[in-house]
Chain A
Amino acid sequence: MSTLTREGRAAGESRAQPRSGDRLSDQHDQQPPDEGATPPGGRPDDAALEEMGNPHHGRAVKDAAARVVMWGAFGAVIVPLVWILYTVVSHGVNLLLSSTWWTNNQRNINSGDTGGGARHAIEGTLMMAGVTAVIAVPIGILTAVYLVEYGRGPLARAISFTVDILSGIPSIVAALFVYAVWVTTFGIERSGFAAALSLVLLMIPVIVRSTEAMLLLVPNELREAAYALGVPKWVTVVKVVLRTAFSGIVTGVLLGLARIMGETAPLLILAPYTKNFQRDLLHGNFPTLPMMINQDRGDIGFATAAERMWGAALTLILLVLLLNVIGRVIARAGSAKT
């Protein structure tokens, strides 16, 4: 059973592209001597003439321009990224190295005080992400399976359309929706779970869309082969289709998690911050890293609060990074062929 995974394909494609690019530039590099073009900086008149008359030279100019634009775009992306990372690391790394950062909470630490840690917020963020994933991942994957394997006709179209709308909802709208239902209508208190519910709304469309794309990549021959062996459809889906697409699905789930872990708007509205440990998702305020950043930003006049803010930001970045690494490991293990 040869299974072509998405990674294999993607890798094949990405390998193919640079090759064709190389070929082009090779040609272009060889052209000038062939044409006997004027060396750069030669007679300007001729150069101008040649540029108009000689299609090959025109192509070279375009090529150079495209190259400049491409590198410029690359720089425009990489410069802010490096800058952000440098700023966050340089401001925040001191606290992360302190002995209490990973073990203590912020109880009794006022804005002007040093000490304490971010463990309450780290635990809170992980718990909230975990609960969100537990709810959103099954719903998301099953929806995608329905859309790809079973759904035909108006119902499937309606679901697909709904997912599209859902993915366009700003996080604050999702938060206000949950607030309206949870607090205004039912009068339940704000809590970590309420925030997780609004994060579910944000995570589901990401998972549905990525899983859908992965399932569509599974070659039909695999399904047909399974049917030919007399395997029922649901077994085919579970054992063949989902297994083949496993690594891609995990990647999608992780992208979804990364998207929601730094989300702040639902937390502002639904899960007020606490400086204490909180393991009860249903009652009381809930500590999370984005809210810790937000809280300390309010007291940025204090050097201590500012440092805590950077520390929490760096911790959040590291957490998302760690999650990605774990996901890669799982995906690699899961996509191994037999």
Chain B
Amino acid sequence: MSATRTTVRSAFGVLALSGALLLSSCASENNTPGGSADNASQAGSTGNTGNTGNTDCFSGNLKAEGSSAQKNAIDEAISVFQTKCADATIDYNPSGSGSGIKQFIAKQVDFAGSDSALKTVAVDGLVEADDAAKACGSPAWNLPMVTGPIAVAYNVAGVDKLVLNAEVTAQIFDGRITTWNDPAIAKLNAGVKLPATPIKVYFRSDDSGTTENFTKYLKSAAPDAWSYETGKKWTGKGEGKEKSAGVATAVKGQDGGITYVELSYARQNRLQMAQIDTGSGPVVLNAESVGKTVATAKPTGSGNDLALKIDYATQESGAYPIILVTYEVVCSTYADPAQGAKVKAFLTTFASDAVQGQLEELGYAPLPTAVASKVQTAVKAIS
């Protein structure tokens, strides 16, 4: 019996020892990110260059959750911040705008990322802005931080260039145009040989700010063709896929597929992007054409609560109309001042010209200067 017990004990000893070894202190936090091995896709972290202003480092962690559209942008800002502040830990969980706001209201995260400002009108009997204010104990602010174009990404064999307008896009996403050689599409694409492939529409199955902004575009630019309400839930036709990555990979794997997705994901998956004809000729999606639309965006909201109103129906020549503005939803005054200081420190870095300037190569557009300075003022007022 005793021999047995010894073996048992030694076996447990081995187990404990291996556990101790694994948890021993040779763990390292000193990562130096290597550039992407995949040079054709967008560049990875560009490191800590430029002036990000004075950084108030903190030790401890900060939690945020929300829009997957701003994930790559906020990851970049987090890297810059964490490189400066070795004791700080910032986690961003890209679970979608809807989920981010819910967790913010449930006080699970310090701030939320959202592709649309908090609603001030009741949806399903709940007013987001009021609930958020209740959770904060002070008014919640929307701070526009990143603007990003939404690409109408498609995958049709042999078609490298495609022009769509709001009308036709609405009909495609409503399932009324079902094949790629439909006369309506052909009319906009003279000289392009369109196949008879059936159109396969993919939409975001999760609550998404991208869906909301895209439907807002359809609704305001083609009110006759798009009869549905706008919102985070998709109401058109097609097949649902989860998150930006889901729709992008679905289109990549399906000849005849089309979806709406943030530029960064369309680039990652090397998808073709349609040019949009706003009435003054087809517009290619690039920084310049997006910048033109962002520049026309009007700040709304009062005081430091900033929201941007985008003119989706813009007909300005060379302005790409389908863009989204993603916000950070924060408390104006945090119940725990220490937490407020952390949020302020990080958002100061995020809103700084240096970080904003790096976002362009990640597929985002920097904030217009007028808006950027307002955001910086608002961040300073967080307490």
Contacts and interface: CB of A to CB of B under 8 A. Distances in A.
B38 A302 contact: yes
Contacts of B265: 301
Contacts of A263: none
Contact of A301 (B8, B37, B65, B249): B249
Contact of A284 (B28, B33, B63, B245): B63
What is the interface residue range for chain A against chain B?
35 or more
B43 A115 contact: no
Interface string A112-140: 11111101001100100000000000000
Contacts of B370: none
A189 interface: yes
A297 B245 contact: yes
Contact of A114 (B27, B29, B34, B270): B34
Interface of B: 1, 3-4, 7-8, 10-12, 14-15, 18-19, 22-23, 26-38, 41-45, 61, 63, 65, 68, 71-72, 75-76, 78-79, 82-83, 89, 91, 93-95, 106-108, 243-245, 248-249, 265, 267-270
A114 B33 contact: yes
A329 interface: yes
Given A116-B33, A119-B27, A302-B38, A107 B8 contact: no
A276 B249 contact: no
B93 A112 contact: no
A238 interface: no
Interface stretch (A164-172, A226-234, A330-338): A330-338
Contacts of B18: 326
11 contacts: A110-B33, A110-B44, A112-B45, A113-B34, A115-B34, A117-B28, A123-B22, A300-B245, A300-B249, A326-B18, A333-B7
A271 to B, nearest CB: 10
Interface of B (DSSP majority class)? mixed
A302 B89 contact: no
Interface string A172-209: 00000000000110010110000000000000000000
Contacts of B106: 183-184, 187
A272 B91 contact: yes
Residue of A105, A112, A114, A299 ringed by the most chain B CB atoms within 10 A: A112
A326 B18 CA distance: 10
10 tightest Cβ-Cβ pairs between the two chains A and B: A301-B268, A112-B44, A113-B33, A114-B34, A333-B7, A303-B38, A112-B36, A272-B93, A113-B44, A301-B269
B3 A274 contact: no
Contacts of A107: 29, 31, 82, 89
Contacts of B75: 110-111
B92 to A, nearest CB: 9
A113 B35 contact: yes
A333 B11 CA distance: 7
A302 B106 CA distance: 33
Given A110-B45, A189-B108, A105 B31 contact: yes
A337 B36 CA distance: 58
A108 interface: yes
Contacts of A87: none
Contact of B243 (A106, A189, A277, A298): A298
A106 B35 CA distance: 14
B23 A123 contact: yes
A111 B68 CA distance: 13
B29 A330 contact: no
Interface string A77-120: 00000000000000000000000100111111111111111010
B4 A333 contact: yes
B268 A299 contact: yes
Contacts of A104: 27-31
Contacts of A115: 31-34
B245 A330 contact: no
Contacts of B34: 113-115
Contacts of A304: 36-38, 44
A310 interface: no
Contact of A112 (B43, B107, B249): B43
Nearest to A189: B108
Contact of B93 (A108, A117, A123, A285): A285
A317 B233 CA distance: 37
A272 B99 CA distance: 12
A122 B27 CA distance: 11
Given A110-B79, A284-B61, A329-B11, A273 B93 contact: yes
Contacts of B91: 272-276, 284-285
